[in-house]
Amino acid sequence: MSDRVRTLVWVDGRLKLIDQTKLPTTFEVVECTTYQEVADAIRTMKVRGAPAIGATAAFGVVLGALEHRQDAPSDFLLAMDMIFHELAATRPTAVNLFWALERMKKVILAMQGEAVTSMVDALVVEAETIANEDVDTCRRIGAVGAPVITRGAGVLTICNAGALATVDYGTALGVVRAAFEAGTEFHVYTAETRPFLQGARLTAWELVEDNIPATLITDNMAGWLMAQGRIQVVIVGADRIAANGDTANKIGTYTFAILAQHHGIPFYVAAPLSTVDLALASGKEIPIEERSAKEVTHVFGQPIAPEGIDVYNPAFDVTPAHLITGIITEVGIIRPPFAASLVQAVGRT
């Protein structure tokens, strides 16, 4: 077992989160005691990464429910509606947020007519189950995906799909960890991931902490590394996978997929099945979050662009399914044609 601190832990009625905006210079744990604090932590990216957002939101529901524990049933249901609404409005792209909120809603629906206190207790259990399942799922993704990293490979990743983006272990970085634990020798290249720098701040931090051989590059170096023969596989996370396999992930992922295809390099997405959204036919329907211009014009509070310049800051892009070699999930590597294989895989859970 690793001695890593989990990204989020539920202790004595509070949610403790590693504040990811402070890493890598400061390791700080923040406590949320209200659902509003949870919503704010997601919105401001103290906690980020699709599975971590989902599990955090589930505990946000719990904190809201605890606040209304003494309410009459009708008041409780009304308050919970508002709480679900507020948590759902935090970030639009990662479907795991809505998936986790749906699971929590189902608990309440299944207990209509029972005491409010019993519903609250059941919500606590469900949130803890979501968090624990996530750890187990990531371990399975790691075990399934480890063989795609062969001896001597250069592995390129973007953003942070690591322990910090999940409850523990990670998805894309879970595959890296599992290959490393299996004794495979390889080298990771982590792209810094402008503008929020999840690759430089978070993935590089996790790799250094685990002593996994790695090199930090800026995003625009990826093509040149591939041309030099230094990358044998690309592995990225996902925020939402549409029914046809189109995949939304951190901005820059699509560029890497195009580059990988050009150089004949396999391109894998690693994600739990909770990231698959069969309700959306294609990536065209995935809502793409746009974040503040300041993330682009400023670096650590310092302006790097002239005042008055127009800015476009989409936080995610969509990689078309035809550029994806396989989707590494907890039930196996899903291969094209994804329209059939995704439905089959989701049906197995």
List active site positions: 239
* SS3 category, 219: helix
Q: Does 6 bind ligand MRU (CB under 6 A)?
A: no
- Considering only CA atoms, which of 23, 272, 10, 327 is closest in space to residue 164? 23
Give the x/- contact pattern for ligand MRU in 98-137, rule: CB under 6 A: ----------------------------------------
- State the number of binding residues for ligand MRU (CB under 6 A): 17
Q: What is the dihedral of CA 128, 131, 135, 136, to 10 degrees?
A: 60
Give the x/- contact pattern for ligand MRU in 241-280, rule: CB under 6 A: --------xx------------------------------
Toward ligand MRU, which CB reaches closer, 140 or 250?
A: 250
Q: In the set 171, 274, 297, 325, which binds ligand MRU (CB under 6 A)?
A: 171
Toward ligand MRU, which CB reaches closer, 37 or 206?
A: 206
Give the x/- contact pattern for ligand MRU in 76-95, rule: CB under 6 A: ------------------x-
At CB < 8 A and 24+ separation, what contacts does 295-302 make?
295/195, 295/196, 296/194, 296/195
Q: Which amino acid is at 202?
A: L
DSSP state string for 269-324: EE--GGGEETT-SSGGGS---B--THHHHEETTEE-S-TT-----BSEEEE-GGG-
Toward ligand MRU, which CB reaches closer, 66 or 291?
A: 291
Q: Does 238 bind ligand MRU (CB under 6 A)?
A: yes
Strands 14-18 and 29-32 come out as antiparallel
Which residues lie near ligand MRU (CB under 6 A)? 48-51, 94, 159, 161, 165-166, 171, 198, 237-239, 249-250, 315
